[in-house]
Amino acid sequence: MENFLQDKDLWIVGSVCLVASILWRRFWNLFTYKRKRDSSPESASIDIQFREKDGSDKSKVYQKGSKTQKKKKPLDASDLFQAGFEEVQNQQNNQLSQSTAAHLDLIEEEQEVDKYREGKDGKQQAAVEEEAKEQEIVSELFQIKEEDKKEEENRLKKEEALWLSEVNQLAALNSSDRTDGSITVTPESCEENLEIIFSTKRHVTDETLPDELKKSRVEEDKELKEEEVAGLEAAEVGPERTEEKRKNAEPVIDEYVIDSSPPPPAPFEHRLVTTKTHQITSYYTINKEEVLGGGRFGMVHKCVEKSSGLVLAAKIIKARSQKEKEVVKCEIEVMNQLNHDNLIQLYAAFESRHEIILVMEYVDGGELFDRIIDENYKLTELDTVLFIRQISEGLQYMHKMYILHLDLKPENILCVSRQTNKVKIIDFGLARRYKPREKLRVNFGTPEFLAPEVINYEFVSFPTDMWSLGVITYMLLSGLSPFLGEDDNETLNNILACQWSFEEAEFVDISEEAKDFISRLLVKSKSWRMSASQSLKHPWLSDRALHYHLRHKKNKCHSSHAPPSEG
């Protein structure tokens, strides 16, 4: 028994020594491994690979087959002893690994808490910075406001000083019997000072004012009262009677407002017309005996719509070939785009085998050309102003719609009636749509009214119509054609040379404004001509004082007969 106890003690002592040696060995291996890992760059790079994107460590996972496994042998007594110690060692290792894992979890939690605190601190810092910026902006605004306030106060002080100096000067001049000779105003506070500056009348006590200033103040008060009474009367009576009273009280003797109202519109709404193949006689009665006009295109007759009794004009155009019909359809397309009181309106269109008939608005005042050549008609300069203004308004609308007339002449301008000076532009057979990117050239028109760029076969545009307007103005004022020669060749050469003048006797009594108007249109270079909008703003067409002068002039353009009454 004693031997057994001795053997047991020896066994315990031996096992303790063995365990101590094993632990020392493991500790030494761990120590050497840590030193190698810290000193080796490769281990550092490997360690980096096992870190997550957020900076936390991952558990190291090694590839399979990285270490070879040895075959197991049958255990003997020493091996059993070794196995017992290995179980103890494994239990200790498990406890150590569990404590290590718990420790790592605590470290990760602390790191997450630190990150959260850092993010929170960053947001708080950004909020603090934004608040500091806002405070800086507010302080700058207050500073600017204070500076503006100081400037305003300085300005008010200067105005007050100037006013006081003026009052002192007036008092010194007008009150020689007074000893002080000056007036001082001492407002009790800054608020009173501001009230003095911003009031419509200066607030000065009657005791300090001189007599003349008192009188002027009484007169001002009286005038203000009269104005207030007049305003109340105007409000009670109404704007119309007030205007009449103003006109009766203060008659305008140096201005005249011309009748710039548009001519009466067509008796039907604007419509988009397409050609019909039906017989026109089924819908309209055409009076071929009554001819309203004619030209190279055909004839215009008076017609009546059977269903409504509406009086219209039928323009019969000879069109045998398909090309000729396309030209007429181009005129229809242009008229579909034009809706203006100074432009004739299209009502319907009919197509047959050899002709196309356009049914249009009817006016019975005759051509403007008839008034130019009629010696029994008194055409004054003011009448010409009315005509040219309406033509300019029609051209302004056409050019806004990007359409060129290209055949503007007195024959293509109709008077609405023989009693008024209202006109409408007609005949859009040569009109073209202007496209800036597509340069347009034409080789047609009436020689007397052709612009230089048409004769030279150059690009045409809006100023081409304005040249024709200048020729029409010249003819209305003088009854003469500025470029007309013995034949067409001479006429075209005169246009290219831009040879014209105001030396004829017919221009002796014509105003300088009218001559300037023509001079700004009959310019060889199209880029220097007035546009339609600019012509309407020219003094000859817009100056009321000039119109008043023209209305009372006794001269006539080129005849000496009584004018018709204006409607």
State the binding site for ATP.
315
Neighbours of 353 (CB within 10 A): 7
Distance from C-alpha of 466 to C-alpha of 532, rounded to nearest angstrom = 7
Compute CA distances 283 → 179, 280, 307, 360, 474, whole Å: 102, 6, 7, 14, 43
Binding residues: 315
Q: Where are the alpha helices (DSSP H) in 419-487?
A: 452-455, 462-478
Contacts of 307 (CB under 8 A, 6+ apart): 283
Distance from C-alpha of 204 to C-alpha of 184, rounded to nearest angstrom = 10
Contacts of 313 (CB under 8 A, 6+ apart): 292, 300, 301, 302, 303, 359, 360, 361, 362
Active-site entry in 407, 427, 465, 509? 407
Task: Show contacts of 560-567: CB within 8 Å, 24+ apart.
Answer: 560/378, 561/375, 561/376, 561/377, 561/378, 562/378, 563/377, 563/378, 563/379, 563/380, 563/383, 564/377, 564/418, 564/419, 565/419, 566/259, 566/419, 566/420, 566/421, 567/417, 567/419, 567/420
Compute CA distances 429 → 143, 268, 408, whole Å: 72, 22, 11
Q: Return the axis-axis angle of helices 2-39 and 41-49, rounded to nearest 10°.
A: 90
> Token pair of 551, please?
């209305």
Using DSSP's 3-state secondary structure scheme, residue 292 falls into: strand
C-alpha dihedral sign at 37, 42, 44, 46: negative
Specify whether 407 is catalytic: yes
C-alpha dihedral sign at 459, 465, 468, 469: negative
Distance from C-alpha of 531 to C-alpha of 529, rounded to nearest angstrom = 6
Cβ–Cβ under 8 Å, residues 452 and 496: yes
Cβ–Cβ under 8 Å, residues 472 and 513: no
Among 309, 385, 319, 384, which residue's Cα sits nearest to residue 350?
A: 319
The catalytic site residues sit at: 407
